[in-house]
A = this chain, B = another copy of it.
Amino acid sequence: MAAARRSPRLKDVAEAAGVHISTASRALNERTAALLNPQTLERVRETADGLGYRVNGMARALKTRRSLSIGMVVPDITNPFFPPTVRGAEDVLDRAGYSLLLSSTDNDMGKARRQVAAMLESQVDGLLLAMALRDDPLVTELRSGGAPLVLVNRTIDRGGVSAVVPDDFHGALEAAEHLYALGHRRLAFVGGPLATSNGARRRASFDQTVARLGLKEVAALEAVAFDEDAGYATAQDLLTRHPRITGVVAGNDLLAIGIIAAAAERGLACPQDISVVGFNDMLLAGRLQPPLTTIRIPQYDVGARAAELLMSLVDDPDRNPETVLISGELVIRGSTAAPRAAD
């Protein structure tokens, strides 16, 4: 009749059940329920159900200093690498009773800062950062900052913080060797920004591998981003400056797509005229035209492992930092082939 009270509080449940509010609290809390007389317990629980009681998470979090939420910041959820990663993280967090606060930064440092600040304000119990630079001031701030932190996909040069990243070194090595094994001798690398760990490590691995193989005609370029447009633009450059290149290892699948597009525009068919190997094996990579040969990184696992690591860090903040390498494997599809015989 009167204006309906917005929603029942613990106090309402307690009164309805004829117990003290603290008893009601204990009844509704797994951990403390054992303290109560079974009958009281049941009575409280039933009235709680009857009233449609729902604990106020903020009040609880305020008191317990645990929000049961963790924040994850990715550069761009629209980049196919991230959805499976987010999914992996979310699955393990969910299982641990945590919620996921997600944010895309659009590769904008300022936005990232603001988002992280907002997450910290909302008292996240931990942070999953998937956008670190090799020397990232934000990360250094955060390290001592407060919430447990684990880096995802990219890490920083100086250690000291937990991270879950793909095995960039081994991946790029496999990619280059695959091309070599097919008969390619003039290789190029079109990688992502060197300011990122995966940009730098894949590049270093490529350099080292071609040197080891004794290849002379090689080129290595840095795209401004890990996306299709950057791949296209960088490949334009590559193809004019090094027209004799027959095989290229790309920094990731999106770059590979851009590279293939740039090549096509110059009349170079993939894989007939030029072979390209990607990195990640993103969703649908095998359905593309041509199906992408690539280094498969189990993206779901990256996210899942990162979340697991974070959970253990939340439980024990003094745990030593640890970085886990997720290894990939070459999957051969249609974007690589032996170079033309005449070549």
Contact = CB atoms under 8 A, between A and B. Distances in A.
A291 interface: yes
A25 interface: no
Number of copies: 2
Contacts of A77: 77, 83, 86-87, 90
A87 B111 CA distance: 14
Contacts of A91: 104
Contacts of A119: 99
Interface string A73-104: 00011101011101100110010000111111
Interface residues of A, number: 48
A84 B80 CA distance: 10
A213 interface: no
A279 to B, nearest CB: 16
Does more than half of chain A's interface fall in helix, strand or loop, or is it mixed? mixed
Interface stretch (A52-60, A170-178, A179-187, A237-245): A52-60
Given A56-B62, A62-B56, A99 B118 contact: yes
A54 B104 contact: no
Interface of A: 7, 54-59, 61-62, 67-69, 76-78, 80, 82-84, 86-87, 90-91, 94, 99-104, 111, 115, 117-123, 146, 257, 283-284, 287-291
Contacts of A123: 56-58
Nearest to A55: B121
